[in-house]
Chains A and B, each alone.
Chain A
């Protein structure tokens, strides 16, 4: 066992893990933050996306020990003072989720790339949104409304 420490949603946390423990398992099992989902075992679906030091990554494809000392944001960390993040609110308003399984990953991916496009000054049009969502699969195939939700949120972020 190895003791790992990191900051998750603004709170310092630590725990004992086996070296083979994936970050997603540390988040779900040790911390009980089950909003981050696991939708595949091939690193392809993006249901597990979280931010590590501001970058969207697949938490199923990073070891927990590798995240030592990092700042992590999960879906649970987006709402502030009981107010949904604009991306969460937009998914709710635009029917951006059906079963909701892919939604945490979609939202964590989208909050990162909307920010990234804003900083770089490149226009985030529909084609760009679809390209940025290449690593996120929706089993209910509700992509049209997911794209619409992100367009809506981007105009408010």
Chain B
């Protein structure tokens, strides 16, 4: 790892100021993506501004059907929150499928979303749940937030402070983990809203990162069963294709996992 200077921030404002003063700084949250990248010398920030100890960005708030999760809340905290599980167990299940227990003890929802790895789990949920990403500058709808592989609508000095969504009437997540890395080879999050509309978020599969599948959304709005998906098509040419799985394989996974997500939803 190249040399760097560490700063601990106690508020989002202070963190933004520290980053502005740095030559080529980066925010550090759980460090479970950024530190491995720095160890490989694929990133060399001059300064690290640690967000993980900002109290105002920690924890889960449940207000009826409205859920707010602070950006530095760890995957383990989301997975093990019994209050959240009571109102929306799918998000807890998803958090419990990320990486391994040690990664979950450190990694955070804000870091995961800001990183927008095409194989990360949370982006699928954010798209499907129509989540709002709250930052130090504005509120961004998930549909506008995830731009491309590892690219988001965030500006360099903009900090995610929390995410927020309304619990749908039904939702579920199914993931096919890569056997070695545990990242999603494909993961599908499905939600059915109170007004009958459906949103399907797909991660791990799309050549431009997380996406929604409108064909499946209208099929599921008609009938909320795995069977309703049988005539849907997923374009293999729009999928990632690599040594782990080619486009056709991933396209098939999208359909299979969407069906499983619906079957497991409640």
Contacts and interface: CB of A to CB of B under 8 A. Distances in A.
Contact of A135 (B8, B35, B48, B100): B100
Interface in A113-135: 113, 120, 132, 134-135
5 contacts: A41-B39, A44-B181, A46-B102, A134-B100, A136-B100
A62 B6 contact: no
Interface of A: 2, 18-20, 22, 41-44, 46, 49, 55-58, 60-63, 65-66, 109, 112-113, 120, 132, 134-136
Contacts of B48: 19, 63
Interface in B92-118: 99-103, 105-106
B4 interface: yes
Interface in B62-83: 76, 80
Given A41-B39, A66-B50, A56 B32 contact: no
A72 B55 CA distance: 22
Given A42-B40, A46-B102, 5 more contacts: A19-B4, A43-B36, A63-B6, A120-B80, A134-B182
Contacts of A120: 80
A19 B105 CA distance: 22
Contact of A62 (B3, B5, B35, B180): B35
B1 interface: yes
A63 B102 contact: no
B59 interface: no
B102 A109 contact: yes
Given A2-B6, A20-B2, A43-B36, A62 B101 contact: no
A46 B100 contact: yes
B31 A61 contact: yes
B251 to A, nearest CB: 27
Closest 10 CB pairs of A and B: A135-B100, A19-B6, A134-B100, A43-B36, A55-B105, A135-B102, A65-B6, A20-B1, A58-B102, A61-B35
B160 to A, nearest CB: 19
B31 A62 contact: yes
Contact of B99 (A2, A42, A60, A135): A135
A58 B102 CA distance: 6
A113 B180 CA distance: 21
